[in-house]
A and B are shown apart, each in its own frame.
Chain A
Amino acid sequence: KQEVTQIPAALSVPEGENLVLNCSFTDSAIYNLQWFRQDPGKGLTSLLLIQSSQREQTSGRLNASLDKSSGRSTLYIAASQPGDSATYLCAAPREAAGNKLTFGGGTRVLVKP
């Protein structure tokens, strides 16, 4: 069974500071790792998808790394903005679990102007 943990559960930073969000998973035999953003009361928006053979993926100010051997992924958001305030979730589907995602509890981010 896959267990996904995200630490910290909440994070508050001043605008302009870089954000570092952590995701750890217990079963390293994963297809990929996907990072999502969720605004309050809304659905999930996919941010980055890292395949199991990749070490990192970048999109604009976002960079995600993946270390399967240690069961960790990190999402970096450079030069944070108030619009980055949201909950960030990671999900790591196990190869043995077919296409079922296991989510972490999320990190709630507040970027203060």
Chain B
Amino acid sequence: ETGVTQTPRHLVMGMTNKKSLKCEQHLGHNAMYWYKQSAKKPLELMFVYNFKEQTENNSVPSRFSPECPNSSHLFLHLHTLQPEDSALYLCASSQAGGVLYGYTFGSGTRLTVV
């Protein structure tokens, strides 16, 4: 593992389900991120948290609801998703206030909405 752990690795859910993705980092970082990677598209930033506070919401639909209870944990709550939301969801962490030491990514959750 890279220091950023994501669970589950794979998730299949129906459009009426509610599920959550979890991300945990043990690197002492204080910024955490959710990215979405769809087929044949560049990585898209979804949310940024600095010191547990959300500082960026990149026009993400409200059916995606992030939660950051502390600097080490990040969740993405999912409800009433659409098939086009099927993608690889990646969590990352870094030092806040800048990225002088770079980002560390998790292995991702492969989400399939049926």
**Could you count the A-B residue pairs with CB atoms below 8 Å apart for me: how many are there?**
67
Binary contact track B1-18/A, C-beta < 8 Å → 1, others 0: 010101000000000000
CB neighbours of B2 from chain A (8 A): 43, 45
Q: 1/0 contact trace for B95-107 toward A, CB 8 Å? A: 1111111111111
Chain B residue with Cβ nearest A43: B107
- Contact indicator B99/A41 (Cβ below 8 Å): no
Complex interface bits, B74-105 against A, C-beta within 8 A gives 1, otherwise 0: 00000000000000101010111111111111
**Residue pair B108, A99 in contact (C-beta under 8 Å):** no
> Of A19-27, A31-39, A59-67, A72-80, which stretch is located at the interface?
A31-39
Let me know if B103 and A103 touch, CB within 8 A.
Answer: no
Indicate if the CB atoms of B6 and A43 lie closer than 8 Å: yes
Q: Does B50 contact A (CB under 8 A)?
A: yes
CA distance A9 to B15 in the complex (A): 33
A13-55 interface code vs B (CB 8 A; 1 in, 0 out): 0000000000000000001101010000111111001010000
How far does the Cβ of B40 sit from chain A's closest Cβ, in whole Å? 9
A-B contacts, 29 listed (Cβ < 8 Å):
A31-B100, A32-B99, A34-B102, A36-B105, A42-B108, A43-B2, A43-B105, A43-B106, A44-B92, A45-B2, A46-B103, A46-B105, A49-B101, A89-B43, A91-B103, A93-B99, A98-B48, A99-B48, A99-B50, A99-B98, A100-B45, A101-B33, A101-B45, A101-B92, A101-B103, A104-B42, A105-B41, A105-B42, A106-B42
